[in-house]
């Protein structure tokens, strides 16, 4: 079943059932579908805040997956974690109810918007999508937004608007973004990742080129001129094409940034025309590049430059993107979602530029396959920290058939230590922490729990009472 075929089902009065409705990009989908007048039901294995929210919106949610849950549905939409052996999928097939993927649903929804702006790339998607969201909201264009993280401005990872613009973070994993229908496709960078799905870098580049080719003739592809893989991937593409970069070789570029307390200020140019001055409230040259990408998309949408400047200045980061958590024993504690060697390189380089005495990095690798495939790169990049503390690998969707452990990384990395449990790692960080230190908890798994525990006032009061 295709995205175009799905579009025909998205009509008021039709009954859609969402399997995995409590997921991060499924529950806002439920609200969008309800907003167009559809009857929405759903199921999930566990109750969570998302499920509770949907119930308050009048959406029936079943806990547990059972065949009878799809009864009466005109179509079913599933999250990527739901496979054909799911009893609700089997019941839908048996009853002749069409089954679609979540990505197809978002793709069909995009077809109703004048501007469908999709941010893709190996790194920086959440930050750049969030920056563009700030710009769009500053410009009062009432956008619909879908982000793979929590944006404080929204108090969530999504926003349901009534304007003619939809802004989405677009992930390449399992080619999910190939179901999208972008009018603006932004490609930030391309590296080897998700090698449990893609064969190699060439396979990844082919996927991104296919994504770029989804843009219509009246749309645009916006690409990072400073990323060689991106430019090679898009070489000769027959779609309208503009670039962003740090120098005047790009269509959208900036002056040399000036830095104050680690924060950049620069002028934004479009083909030698001064557009506006931008001051960011987050550090790092990589965020200058992210701001250029967001600005390029905003300019193509026709947003006034003053709102680009205003929106970017108001952006202080998304959850788990160099997020300040607090202090422990005088040390500053930040949490970051970085889980690829390229992201770790940028994170640690940025941290080292901020003037701290020591950078202590606590890292939890994400998936066995990524750790195995990029092992040498992880070893190289984690040496940028003064001290690296490793938690055991977060398995996510995988089983450890490779026989790999974070302990293997610790053996290869100078000044590295391995801790099999979070409680041991937390105790070591607490023992190490002193004024002048920057402690980073890093990874896409659950290591943020350690950051929360380190700065917990409850823990402090407990310690005081025990003295």
Domain CATH for 408:
3.90.190.20
- Quick check: is 137 in a domain? yes
Task: Judge if 308 and 327 occupy the same domain.
Answer: no
Looking at the structure, tell me whether residues 183 and 77 fall in a common domain: no
Are 277 and 327 members of one domain? Answer: no
Answer whether residue 107 is part of any domain.
no
pLDDT for res 458: 60
Q: What is the pLDDT of residues 325-363, one digit of tens each?
A: 999 999 999 999 999 999 999 999 999 999 999 999 999
Model pLDDT, residue 457: 66
Are 161 and 145 in contact by the 8 Å Cβ rule? The answer is yes
pLDDT tens across 291-325, in order?
999 999 999 999 999 999 999 999 998 888 889 99
The model carries a pTM of 0.83
Residue 357 lies in a domain: yes
The pLDDT assigned to 464 comes to 27
Flag whether pLDDT at 463 surpasses 80.
no
Q: How far is residue 152's CA from residue 253's CA, in Å, rounded to a whole number?
A: 28
Pick from 414, 449, 454: which is nearest to 432 by CA?
454
388 labelled catalytic:
no
Rounded to the nearest angstrom, the gap between the alpha carbon of residue 93 and the centroid of all alpha carbons in its chain is: 32
The percent of residues above 70 in pLDDT, for the chain, comes to 98
**Do 237 and 260 sit in the same domain of this protein?**
yes
Q: Which of 37, 69, 102 is the last residue of a domain?
A: 102
Same domain, 233 and 346: no
Residue 410 and residue 397 in contact, taking contact as beta carbons nearer than 8 Å: no
Residues 187 and 268 in one domain: yes
pLDDT at 461: 31
Distances (CA, A) of 437 to 76, 221, 390, 443: 51, 42, 18, 19
Per-residue pLDDT at 225 exceeds 70: yes
Q: Is there a single domain that holds both residue 225 and residue 181? A: yes
Distance CA 413, CA 408 (A): 9
Helix (H, G, I), strand (E, B) or coil at 357: coil
Whether 94 and 120 share a structural domain? no
pLDDT bucket at 426, cuts 50 / 70 / 90:
very high
> If you average pLDDT over residues 81-87, what whole number do you get?
93
Given a cut of 50, is residue 462 above it in pLDDT? no
Q: Are residues 187 and 279 in the same domain?
A: yes
For this structure, is 126 an active site residue?
yes
Mean pLDDT of 149-178: 90
318 domain residue, yes or no:
no
**Final residue of a structural domain among 291, 313, 335:** 313
Q: Quote the percentage of the chain above a pLDDT of 90.
A: 85
Q: CA-to-CA distance for 126 and 140, rounded, in angstroms?
A: 21
Q: Residue 354 burial (CB < 10 Å; 0-12/13-18/19+)?
A: middle
Tell me: pLDDT of 241 over 50.
Answer: yes
Number of H helices, E strands in the chain: 17, 22
Mean pLDDT on 436-463: 82
- Residue 284 covered by a domain: yes
Q: Examine the domain organization and report whether 155 and 277 are in the same domain.
A: yes
Q: State the average pLDDT for the chain.
A: 93
Q: Which range among 51-65, 77-91, 143-157, 263-277 shows the weakest confidence by mean pLDDT?
A: 143-157
Cα-to-chain-centroid distance, residue 254: 25
The boundaries of the domain holding residue 179 are 113-313
Final residue of a structural domain among 313, 331, 364:
313
Mean pLDDT in residue range 367-387: 97
Q: Are residues 143 and 286 in the same domain?
A: yes
Under the banding of pLDDT at 50, 70 and 90, the label for residue 1 is confident
Q: What is the DSSP letter of 175?
A: G
What band does 158 get if pLDDT is binned at 50, 70 and 90?
Answer: confident
Can you tell me the mean pLDDT for 184-213? Answer: 95
Q: How many domains are contained in the chain?
A: 3
Q: Does 125 qualify as catalytic in the annotation? A: yes
> Are residues 343 and 197 part of one domain?
no
- Looking up residue 40, the CATH number of its domain turns out to be 3.40.50.720
Q: Which of 41, 79, 122, 126 is catalytic?
A: 126
CATH number of the domain bearing residue 300:
3.40.1190.10
Contact predicate 108/7, CB 8 Å: yes
């Amino acid at each position: 079943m295709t995205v175009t075929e799905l579009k025909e089902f998205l009509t008021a009065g039709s009954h859609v059932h969402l399997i995995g409705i409590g997921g991060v990009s499924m529950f806002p989908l439920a609200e969008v579908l309800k907003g167009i007048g559809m009857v929405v039901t759903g199921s999930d294995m566990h109750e969570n805040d998302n499920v509770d929210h949907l119930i308050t919106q009048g959406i029936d949610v079943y806990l547990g997956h059972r065949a009878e849950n799809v009864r009466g549905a005109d179509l079913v939409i599933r999250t990527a974690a739901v496979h054909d052996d799911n009893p609700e999928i089997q019941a839908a097939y048996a009853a002749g109810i069409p089954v679609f993927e979540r990505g197809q649903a978002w793709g069909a929804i995009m077809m109703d918007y004048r501007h469908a702006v999709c941010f893709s790339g190996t790194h920086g998607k959440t930050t750049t999508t969030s920056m563009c969201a700030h710009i769009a909201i500053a410009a009062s264009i009432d956008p619909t937004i879908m982000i793979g993280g929590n944006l404080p401005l929204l108090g969530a990872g999504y926003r349901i608007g009534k304007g003619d613009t939809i802004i989405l973070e677009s992930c390449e994993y399992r080619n999910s973004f190939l179901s999208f229908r972008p009018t603006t496709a932004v490609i930030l960078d391309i590296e080897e990742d998700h090698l449990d799905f893609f064969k190699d870098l060439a396979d990844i580049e082919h996927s991104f080129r296919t994504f770029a080719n989804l843009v219509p003739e009246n749309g645009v592809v916006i690409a990072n001129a400073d990323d060689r893989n991106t430019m090679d991937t898009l070489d000769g593409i027959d779609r309208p094409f503009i670039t962003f970069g740090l120098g005047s070789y790009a269509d959208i570029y900036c002056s040399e940034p000036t830095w104050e307390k680690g924060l950049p200020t620069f002028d934004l140019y479009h083909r030698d025309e001064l557009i506006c001055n931008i001051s960011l409230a987050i550090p790092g040259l990589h965020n200058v590049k992210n701001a250029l990408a967001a600005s390029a998309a905003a300019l193509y949408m026709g947003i006034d430059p003053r709102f680009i400047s205003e929106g970017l200045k108001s952006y202080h980061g998304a959850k788990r993107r160099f997020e300040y958590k607090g202090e422990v024993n005088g040390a500053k504690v930040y949490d970051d979602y970085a889980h690829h060697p390229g992201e770790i390189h940028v994170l640690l380089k940025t941290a080292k530029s901020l003037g701290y005495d020591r950078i202590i990095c606590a890292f939890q690798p994400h998936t066995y396959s990524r750790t195995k495939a990029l092992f040498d790169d992880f070893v190289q990049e984690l040496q940028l920290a003064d001290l690296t503390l490793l938690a055991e690998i977060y398995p996510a969707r995988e089983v450890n058939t490779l026989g790999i452990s974070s302990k293997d990384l610790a053996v290869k990395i100078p000044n590295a230590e391995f801790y099999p449990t979070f409680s041991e790692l937390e105790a070591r960080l607490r023992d190490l922490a002193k004024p002048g230190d920057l402690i980073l908890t890093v990874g896409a798994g659950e290591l943020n729990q350690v950051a929360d525990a380190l700065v917990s006032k409850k823990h402090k009061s407990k310690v005081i009472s025990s003295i």
